[in-house]
């Protein structure tokens, strides 16, 4: 398994040398952040970015994310859609030339991840991201000057309105069809260039503002994996996103993906539910939230997982000010914790003929 850490490029307040100082991190997960959605990522820009990272003895084999243009998700203007898909394929070709192995993307309409609070206060005075269903119900995305924590729109009020209506008309089945159309075109290209695509689940995995959600349950995952049956068509397993839906069995989802070899990239973070559709994010250790991290890593060990893993959102601690969810300290603590479990499992596996012992413990 390769431990990685997300970096927001030159705009990130965390310098690469700090990332290098976190024990056992070998990979930087990043993207080109200044390219308008839908444009080709040029090879020279990618070379410059990966050279910066390599200067610190780190690698850039995972991209999170190449964003998908709304026209691809909506599929209304067929000519524009195909052109944008070609751009995506061209970007994949360029990424393969600099040694990228995994490309994360998502198919969430308009908004990426959604939270209602970016600094939810905990009893120990740390803060984290949180989602409160009651608050979301009070936000009307069609209202002028609507604001959503962490979402900086580049759409005018009128454009946003049009997009919301278009997705309502498209519905869940339409969005699914457009995802499959996209994958049928891009997966063969990814395969040819030895890249695994890894869709990020909906975050949170339930409908927001009436927009369709298509990637949040085991059935959604099975549909994706079986409909485009190619190793290059994979999933980013995100414990916090899947975990936000109480009926999801995370171990069932990750086992299914591990058995099919369709999970090249993993995000681990912990969460705690306030009620069915409201939750806050916690420190990584199992006893702080609802997710059993030891059991999670045991499953990875049993399947001899060789992919990439990163600690996901951290809390703000030690007085740090930074990008919500993406400060340095708590993510570094999270990584050290996950690494400790991993090291223990590896030693146990070696000295006690692991598989049998691990099987009994899970
Ligand atoms: C939030 C992230 C997401 C993720 C994208 C992947 O912190 O997990 O923004 O990067 O959804 O496409």
What does the pLDDT read at residue 356? 52
Which candidate, 283, 260, 258, 261, places its Cα nearest to that of 270?
283
- Residue 349: the pLDDT is 62
Pocket of ligand 1 (CB under 6 A): 64-65, 104-106, 112-113, 200, 313, 325
Residue spans of the domains in the chain: they are: 2-345
Q: What is the pLDDT of residue 157?
A: 87
**Which two three-digit tokens encode residue 27?**
């990979």
Tell me which of 67, 106, 235 to substitute to probe ligand 1's pocket, judged by most ligand atoms within 8 Å of the beta carbon: 106
Ligand 1 centroid to residue 352 C-alpha, Å: 38
Taking CA atoms only, the protein residue closest to ligand 1 atom 3 is: 113
Residue 224: its pLDDT value, please? Answer: 98
What is the 236 CA–ligand 1 centroid distance (Å)?
10
CB 102 within 8 A of CB 195: yes
CA 33/CA 60 separation, integer angstroms: 15
Lateral strand order in the sheet of 127-131: 117-121, 127-131, 278-282, 270-275
**φ and ψ at residue 246, rounded to 5 degrees:** -65, -30
Output the CA 357–ligand 1 centroid distance in Å: 35
CA distance 107 to 145: 25
Pick the CATH number of 2-345 from 3.40.50.1980, 2.70.150.10, 3.20.20.150, 4.10.95.10: 3.20.20.150
Confidence band, pLDDT 50/70/90 cuts, at residue 361 = very low
| Tokens of residue 320, six digits | 């740090």
pLDDT band at 360 (very low <50, low <70, confident <90, very high): very low
Candidate of 7, 109, 112, 267 to mutate for ligand 1, largest count of ligand atoms within 8 Å of Cβ: 112
**What is the SS3 assignment for 78?**
helix
Write out the catalytic residue numbers: 200, 238, 267, 312-313, 326
Q: How confident is the model over 88-107, as pLDDT tens digits?
A: 999 999 999 999 999 999 99
Cα distance between residue 111 and residue 200, in whole Å = 13
User: How many A from CA of 112 to the centre of ligand 1?
Assistant: 7
Instruction: With cut-offs at 50, 70 and 90, classify the pLDDT of residue 155.
Output: confident
How confident is the model at residue 152, as a pLDDT? 78
Is 105 in a helix, a strand, or coil? Answer: strand
Half-sphere exposure at residue 297, Cβ-oriented, CA atoms within 13 angstroms: 26
pLDDT tens figures, 242-251? 999 999 999 9
Residue 65: is the preceding peptide bond cis (ω within 30°)? yes
Nearest CA residue ID for atom 8, ligand 1: 113
Mean pLDDT computed over 212-233: 98
pLDDT of residue 149: 82
DSSP, collapsed to helix, strand or coil, labels residue 47 as helix
pLDDT band at 351 (very low <50, low <70, confident <90, very high): low
On whether the CB atoms of residues 62 and 11 are closer than 8 A, the answer is no
Q: Is the pLDDT of residue 348 over 90?
A: no
Which stretch of 108-122, 127-141, 219-233, 341-355 has the lowest confidence by average pLDDT? 341-355
For 137-166, what is the mean pLDDT? 87
């Amino acid at each position: 398994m390769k431990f990685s850490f997300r970096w927001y490029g030159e705009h990130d307040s965390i310098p690469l040398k700090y990332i290098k100082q976190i024990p056992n991190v070998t990979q930087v997960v990043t993207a080109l952040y200044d390219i308008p959605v839908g444009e080709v990522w040029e090879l020279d820009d990618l070379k410059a970015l990966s050279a910066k990272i390599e200067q610190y003895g780190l690698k850039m084999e995972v991209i999170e994310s190449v964003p998908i243009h709304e026209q691809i998700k909506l599929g209304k203007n067929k000519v524009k859609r195909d052109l944008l898909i070609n751009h995506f394929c061209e970007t994949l070709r360029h990424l393969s030339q600099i040694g990228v192995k995994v490309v994360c993307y998502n198919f969430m309409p308009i908004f990426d991840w959604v939270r209602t609070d970016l600094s939810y206060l905990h009893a120990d005075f740390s803060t984290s991201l949180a989602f409160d269903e009651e608050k979301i119900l009070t936000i009307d995305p069609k209202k002028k000057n609507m604001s959503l924590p962490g979402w900086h729109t580049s759409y005018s009020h009128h454009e946003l309105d049009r997009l919301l209506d278009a997705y309502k008309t498209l519905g869940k089945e339409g969005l699914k069809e457009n995802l499959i159309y996209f994958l049928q075109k891009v997966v063969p290209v990814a395969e040819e260039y030895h890249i695994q695509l890894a869709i990020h689940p909906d975050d949170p995995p339930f409908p927001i503002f009436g927009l369709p959600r298509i990637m949040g349950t085991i059935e959604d995952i099975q549909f994706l994996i079986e409909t485009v049956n190619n190793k290059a068509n994979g999933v980013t397993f995100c414990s916090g996103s899947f975990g936000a839906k109480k009926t999801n069995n995370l171990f069932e989802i990750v086992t299914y993906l591990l058995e099919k070899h369709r999970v090249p990239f993993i995000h681990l973070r912990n969460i705690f539910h306030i009620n069915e559709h409201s939750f806050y994010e916690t420190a990584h250790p199992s006893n702080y939230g609802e997710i059993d991290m030891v059991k999670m890593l045991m499953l990875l060990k049993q399947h001899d997982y060789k992919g990439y893993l990163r600690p996901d959102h951290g809390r703000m601690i030690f007085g740090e000010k930074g990008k919500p969810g993406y400060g340095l300290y708590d993510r570094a603590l999270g990584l050290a914790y996950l690494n400790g479990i991993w090291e223990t499992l590896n030693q146990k596996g070696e000295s006690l003929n692991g598989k049998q012992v691990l099987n009994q413990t899970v």
